[in-house]
């Protein structure tokens, strides 16, 4: 039982996010938020049960973590396996096919999030009636926009199908390369809609931008706080979603780490475990667990890169950063705008690749060099930086896996967002309204969290809800959610 | 031609050579009888019972029962389809068959039969047995999670490769395919291009590092159900 003067408010389930989670707030007698926690109540255990499997299975096996961005896991595992077989330089066709797959993934996932999950909040307002504030409401009131969202997602999935063989859970990337090229028929099929996709992406950037600017006063502080930002960048500092080295900047853009090879991630990143969540809490070691947490994903990527190597997205990036005079944006709700800039970037990249004859090449797999027993790969998944670290034995069996997924990186930021929003909008209110509760979901939703991906590690604790007082003393515990 | 045997299968008259089994005669006539443990070129084993047909009303395994004059064979009936579905179901639940990440998916006869018989999910509870994976050989590996004890590797190793790499040990639920070296597959004289490896109908005995080299859309059963080649061969004649 809670103490007589405290009230426990549970928001469960969180809606319109990938996976399942819930939020627990502890209110004191004055309805002030004493504590806010995002609980992840899913459990995967991939790191444990892939032990013993042959390493070439990994790209297809680990992508089953998720049905929304399996391509990210597929490609990240493939890159790690490339390292294990000693495939140093992939043939151009293989590298570009993988990139095409990845941009298709980025495009469909961002479209899904923006149009299906987030747009109801942005179009109707956070306090709009719940029966209207959903994708059906968007279809009813903004049918053209809804169709665009559906068609954009479909296009991204068609790109995935053309490169991986299936729209979900394909098999394209194999150790050292890819198992197919892009046929002329597949290319021409995709090119039919390409111009429209770029045009719609452009329009989506405009919607996200207009929303942010029109509501700047309201969104600027909404769940926002200064934070570090981390992502991959290319050698020249360009945004690179598929490959690169780690860079982290602080809230004003000063460099914390730069051009750190994925192989050296353990030197710069550590993970903290807290007893109340299946999700770990990663942090930059040089800054420490208290202040070293960082944000990943579209907002972080826009903040960390020096430029984007496609013209329209680069112009949109400059436009985005002009609001903060070139410094990193720490506005949580600006994730949406950043996400649509990336969707535009992905569309531009897909367009370039579809006109690249290398995709019809026949050289699909690299020669294998020296075999390694351990490798680390990182790529930028739609939701942020994704890391796969594997060790294999002399029989080709996996002996260790460590997956640090983007939602895990955003764990602390999401908790901060919940705390901030709860403190700002719920504290002191005698009634907890649907709109107020939804503010918390809107804040979490900005990160586009994938809760199923983020709970892949094997934990020991049973699922439980805990209540603690200010001194951290346990005052209530439930073995299962109510 | 006088020594040819005449019989009917699902009401259709077919002919068989003396000594042919019902399954062989049916196949020659373009009639597909589902099977798993039977493989052309190997001796019949009769263990999986998937090829069970009714012969003059009595259940028989078509892969071992010789064709005889005047036989009335039932093959594609509702009852037999359901029986076969149950057999396939049991093969699935007594092992650990995770098609979603199995590299044999799309080329697997067990999976293909399940699709042909309309199985979308097993009707019995999974047993989730503890099975080992032997990857000690540099070229091939055995994943016993996916073994259905059809014995094709056992017979192929003996009859085609002239080796005795595989054999059965244990009984009942404890039965498994073993290899003739205490140190595991790596201690045997098995090789990557052995017929025994190619004989495995599932993803249990595989060449290493092949994985998913064949793209979706180009796998054996991506475009037509298992058995179609037998049925089509007849219709083209």
Q: Which domains does chain A have, with CATH numbers?
A: 7-41+426-446+463-478 (no CATH), 46-169+181-408 (1.10.645.10)
**Burial readout A160-169 (b: 16 or more C-beta within 10 A, e: otherwise):** bbbbbbebeb
Name which of A61, A165, A174 is nearest B216 (Cβ-Cβ).
Answer: A165
For residues A172 and A179, is the Cβ–Cβ distance under 8 A? yes
DSSP annotation string for A94-119:
HHHHHHHHHHHHHHHHHHIIIIIIIH
- Which of A390, A396, A408 is closest to A295 using CA atoms? A408
The verdict on a CB contact (< 8 Å) between A56 and B209 is yes
């896991």: which residue's tokens?
A73
Does the pLDDT at position A186 exceed 70? yes
Does the pLDDT at position A429 exceed 70? no
Residue A392, number of CB atoms within 10 A of its CB: 25
Name which of B214, B216, B218 is nearest A166 (Cβ-Cβ).
Answer: B216
Per-residue pLDDT tens over the stretch A244-297: 999 999 999 999 999 999 999 999 999 888 777 777 889 999 999 889 999 999
The verdict on a CB contact (< 8 Å) between B214 and A174 is no
pLDDT on residue A431: 55
- CB-defined contacts A:B, below 8 A: 58
Return d(Cα A27, Cα B25) in angstroms, integer.
79
Tokens of B29: 């006539």
Return d(Cα A174, Cα A109) in angstroms, integer.
23
**Chain A CB within 8 Å of residue B172 CB:** no
CA distances from B30 to B15, B49, B56, B108 (A): 11, 20, 21, 22
Query: Higher pLDDT residue, A480 or A157?
Result: A157
Tokens of A149: 């969202």
Q: What percent of chain A has pLDDT over 90?
A: 63
Return d(Cα B222, Cα B232) in angstroms, integer.
16
The verdict on a CB contact (< 8 Å) between B213 and A174 is yes
**Chain B CB within 8 Å of residue A392 CB:** no
Return d(Cα A405, Cα A400) in angstroms, integer.
16
pLDDT grade for A132, boundaries at 50, 70 and 90: confident
Per-residue pLDDT tens over the stretch A359-393: 999 999 999 999 999 999 999 999 999 999 999 99
Query: Same fold for the domain at B7-76 and the one at B84-207?
Result: no
Return d(Cα B98, Cα B206) in angstroms, integer.
15
pLDDT on residue A423: 79
Does the pLDDT at position A456 exceed 50? no
Name which of B210, B213, B216 is nearest A170 (Cβ-Cβ).
Answer: B216
CA distances from B119 to B87, B94, B122, B148 (A): 11, 16, 7, 17
pLDDT on residue A21: 65
Return d(Cα A419, Cα A412) in angstroms, integer.
10
Dihedral pair phi/psi, residue B165, rounded to 5°: -70, -40
pLDDT grade for A228, boundaries at 50, 70 and 90: very high
The verdict on a CB contact (< 8 Å) between B103 and A170 is no
Rounded to the nearest angstrom, the minimum Cα separation between A305 and chain B is: 35
Contacts of A172 in chain B (CB under 8 A): 215
Nearest CA in chain A to B186: A395
User: Stretch A205-227: mean pLDDT, rounded?
Assistant: 93
**Chain A CB within 8 Å of residue B139 CB:** no
For residues A194 and A351, is the Cβ–Cβ distance under 8 A? yes
**Chain A CB within 8 Å of residue B214 CB:** yes
Question: What is the overall mean pLDDT for chain A?
Answer: 86
Residues of chain B falling short of pLDDT 50 = 1
- Listed in sequence order, the residues at least 6 apart from A342 whose beta carbon sits closer than 8 Å to its beta carbon are A106, A110, A241, A298, A301, A302, A313, A382
Name which of A60, A166, A175 is nearest B209 (Cβ-Cβ).
Answer: A175
Return d(Cα A299, Cα A306) in angstroms, integer.
13
The verdict on a CB contact (< 8 Å) between A60 and B103 is yes
**Chain B CB within 8 Å of residue A64 CB:** yes
User: In CATH, what is the architecture of B84-207?
Assistant: 2-Layer Sandwich (3.30)
- Listed in sequence order, the residues at least 6 apart from A63 whose beta carbon sits closer than 8 Å to its beta carbon are A70, A71, A73, A74, A77, A169
Q: What is the ipTM of this complex?
A: 0.93
Selected from 3.90.550.10, 3.40.50.1220, 3.10.20.740, 3.40.640.10, the CATH number assigned to the domain covering B7-76 reads: 3.10.20.740
DSSP code of residue B76: S
Contacts of B136 in chain A (CB under 8 A): 395
Tokens of B74: 């039932």
Does the pLDDT at position A482 exceed 90? no
SS3 A279: coil
Name which of A64, A166, A179 is nearest B101 (Cβ-Cβ).
Answer: A64
Per-residue pLDDT tens over the stretch A76-104: 999 999 999 999 899 999 999 999 999 99
Contacts of A60 in chain B (CB under 8 A): 100-101, 103, 211-212
Rounded to the nearest angstrom, the minimum Cα separation between A179 and chain B is: 5
Does the pLDDT at position A452 exceed 60? no
Query: Higher pLDDT residue, A411 or A466?
Result: A411
- Which of A462, A221, A172, A254 is closest to A332 using CA atoms? A221
Tokens of B193: 């291009």
The verdict on a CB contact (< 8 Å) between B101 and A56 is no
DSSP code of residue B230: H
**Chain A CB within 8 Å of residue B213 CB:** yes
Nearest CA in chain A to B105: A171
Per-residue pLDDT tens over the stretch A42-55: 566 788 889 999 99
How, if at all, do strands B166-169 and B140-143 pair? unpaired
Tokens of A373: 């027993």
pLDDT on residue A1: 39
- The lowest-confidence range among A210-219, A449-458, A462-471 is A462-471
Dihedral pair phi/psi, residue A455, rounded to 5°: -120, 45
The verdict on a CB contact (< 8 Å) between B211 and A56 is yes
- Which of A110, A148, A151 is closest to A344 using CA atoms? A110
pLDDT grade for A162, boundaries at 50, 70 and 90: very high
For residues A71 and A160, is the Cβ–Cβ distance under 8 A? yes
Return d(Cα A91, Cα A361) in angstroms, integer.
9
SS3 A31: coil
> What H or E segment, with its residue span, contains residue A139?
helix A135-141
Return d(Cα B33, Cα A153) in angstroms, integer.
43
> What residues of chain A, 98 to 157, have a C-beta less than 8 Å from chain B?
none
For chain B, give every domain's residue range. Answer: 7-76, 84-207
Tokens of A94: 């293989």
**Chain A CB within 8 Å of residue B119 CB:** no
**Chain A CB within 8 Å of residue B215 CB:** yes
pLDDT on residue B3: 83
The verdict on a CB contact (< 8 Å) between B136 and A54 is no
């Amino acid at each position: 039982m809670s103490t007589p003067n405290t009230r426990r408010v549970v928001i469960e389930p969180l809606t319109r996010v990938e996976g399942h989670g819930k939020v627990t707030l502890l209110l004191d007698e004055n309805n002030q938020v004493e504590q806010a926690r995002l609980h992840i109540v899913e459990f995967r255990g991939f790191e444990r049960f892939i032990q013993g499997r042959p390493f070439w299975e990994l790209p297809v096996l680990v992508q089953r973590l998720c049905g929304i961005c399996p391509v990210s896991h597929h490609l990240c595992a493939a890159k790690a396996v490339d390292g294990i077989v000693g495939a140093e330089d992939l043939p151009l066709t293989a590298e570009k096919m993988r990139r095409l797959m990845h941009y298709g993934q980025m495009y469909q996932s961002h479209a899904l999030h923006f149009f299906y999950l987030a747009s109801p909040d942005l179009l109707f307002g956070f306090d709009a009636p719940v029966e209207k504030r959903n994708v059906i409401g968007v279809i009813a009131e903004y049918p053209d926009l809804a169709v665009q969202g559906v068609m954009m997602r479909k296009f991204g999935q068609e790109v995935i199908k053309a490169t991986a063989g299936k729209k979900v859970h394909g098999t394209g990337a194999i150790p050292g390369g890819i198992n197919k090229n892009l046929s002329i028929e597949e290319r021409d099929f995709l090119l039919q809609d390409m111009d429209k996709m770029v045009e719609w992406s452009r329009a989506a950037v405009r919607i996200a931008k207009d929303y942010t600017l029109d509501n700047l006063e309201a969104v600027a502080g909404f769940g926002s706080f200064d934070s570090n930002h981390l992502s991959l960048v290319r050698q020249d500092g360009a945004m690179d979603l598929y490959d690169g080295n780690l860079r982290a900047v602080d809230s004003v853009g000063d460099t914390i780490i730069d051009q750190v090879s994925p192989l050296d991630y353990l030197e710069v990143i550590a993970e903290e475990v807290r007893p109340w969540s299946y999700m770990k809490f990663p942090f930059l070691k040089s800054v420490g667990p208290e202040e070293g947490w960082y944000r990943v994903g579209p907002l972080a990527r826009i903040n960390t890169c020096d430029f984007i190597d496609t013209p329209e997205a680069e112009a949109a990036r400059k436009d985005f950063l002009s609001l903060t005079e070139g410094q990193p944006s720490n506005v949580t709700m600006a994730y949406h705008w950043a996400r649509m800039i990336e969707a535009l970037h992905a569309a531009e990249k897909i367009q370039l690749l579809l006109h690249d004859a290398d995709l019809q090449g026949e050289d699909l797999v690299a020669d294998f060099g020296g075999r390694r027993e351990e490798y680390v790969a990182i790529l930028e998944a739609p939701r942020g930086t994704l890391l796969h670290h594997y060790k294999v034995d002399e029989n080709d069996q996996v002996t260790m896996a460590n997956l640090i997924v983007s939602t895990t990186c955003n764990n602390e930021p999401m908790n901060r967002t919940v705390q901030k929003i709860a403190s700002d909008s719920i504290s002191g209110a005698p009634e907890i309204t649907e709109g107020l509760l939804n503010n918390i979901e809107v804040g979490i939703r900005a990160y586009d969290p994938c809760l199923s991906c983020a709970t892949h590690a094997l934990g020991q604790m049973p699922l439980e809800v805990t209540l603690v007082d200010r001194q951290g003393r346990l005052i209530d515990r439930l073995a299962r959610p109510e | 031609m006088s020594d040819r045997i005449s019989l009917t299968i699902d009401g259709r008259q077919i002919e068989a050579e003396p000594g042919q089994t019902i399954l062989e005669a049916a196949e020659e006539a373009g009639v597909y009888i589902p099977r798993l443990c039977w493989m052309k070129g190997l001796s019949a084993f009769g263990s999986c019972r998937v090829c069970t047909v009714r012969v003059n009303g009595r259940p028989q395994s078509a892969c071992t029962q010789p064709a005889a004059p005047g036989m009335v064979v039932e093959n594609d009936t509702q009852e037999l389809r359901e029986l076969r579905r149950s057999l396939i179901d049991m093969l699935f639940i007594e092992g650990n068959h995770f098609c979603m990440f199995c590299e044999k998916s799309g080329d697997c006869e067990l999976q293909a039969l399940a699709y042909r018989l309309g199985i979308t999910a097993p009707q019995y509870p999974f047993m989730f047995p503890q099975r080992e994976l032997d990857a000690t050989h540099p070229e091939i590996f055995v994943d016993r999670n996916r073994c259905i004890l059809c014995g094709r590797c056992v017979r192929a190793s003996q009859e085609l490769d002239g080796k005795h790499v595989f054999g059965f040990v244990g009984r009942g639920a404890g039965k498994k395919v073993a290899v003739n070296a205490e140190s595991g597959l790596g201690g045997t004289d098995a090789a990557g291009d052995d017929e025994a490896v190619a004989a495995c109908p599932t993803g249990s005995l595989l060449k290493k590092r092949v994985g998913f080299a064949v793209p979706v859309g180009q796998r054996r059963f991506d475009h037509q159900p298992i058995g179609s080649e037998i049925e089509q061969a007849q219709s083209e004649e």
